[in-house]
Amino acid sequence: MPDKQRNWAYYLAHLHAKYEMPAVLLVVCDNRNTAAWASETVDFGPPEWPSLTLRPLVLGPDDVPVVDDPVQARRDIPLTVLSAVLHRREPQADAILKVLADALKGLEARDPDTATIFVELTSQGLGESPAAKTWRALMTDLSFFTSPISEEIREEGREEGRAKGKAEDILLLLDGREVHVSAADRDRITSCRDLDTLNLWFTRAITATSAAEVFAEE
For residue 178, give the amino acid letter.
Answer: E
Number of domain units in the chain? 3
- How much of the chain exceeds pLDDT 90, in percent? 50
Q: Please state the pTM of the whole predicted model.
A: 0.60
- Which structural domain range is residue 43 located in? 2-59
For residue 29, give the amino acid letter.
Answer: C
Q: Which of 14, 30, 59 is the last residue of a domain?
A: 59
Per-residue model confidence as pLDDT tens digits over 97-146: 999 999 998 888 888 889 888 988 898 899 888 898 888 888 776 655 55
Q: Residue 190: inside a domain, yes or no?
A: yes
Q: Residue 177: inside a domain, yes or no?
A: yes
How many whole angstroms separate alpha carbon 217 and alpha carbon 214? Answer: 9
Q: Do 39 and 95 fall within a single domain?
A: no
Q: Residue 152: inside a domain, yes or no?
A: no
- Taken in order 144, 150, 153, 154, the sign of the CA dihedral is positive
Per-residue model confidence as pLDDT tens digits over 44-84: 999 899 999 999 999 999 999 999 999 999 999 999 999 99
- For 109-128, letters b (16+ CB in 10 Å) and e give eeeeeebbebbeebbebbee
Q: Do 6 and 48 fall within a single domain?
A: yes
Q: Residue 64: inside a domain, yes or no?
A: no
Are residues 32 and 23 in contact, defined by beta-carbon separation less than 8 angstroms? no
Each as own residue / partner, the long-range contacts of residues 157-163 (CB below 8 Å, 24 or more positions apart, any chain) are 159/193, 159/195, 160/193, 162/195, 163/192, 163/193, 163/194, 163/195, 163/198
Asked whether the predicted pLDDT for residue 9 surpasses 70, the reply is yes
Q: Do 91 and 118 fall within a single domain?
A: yes
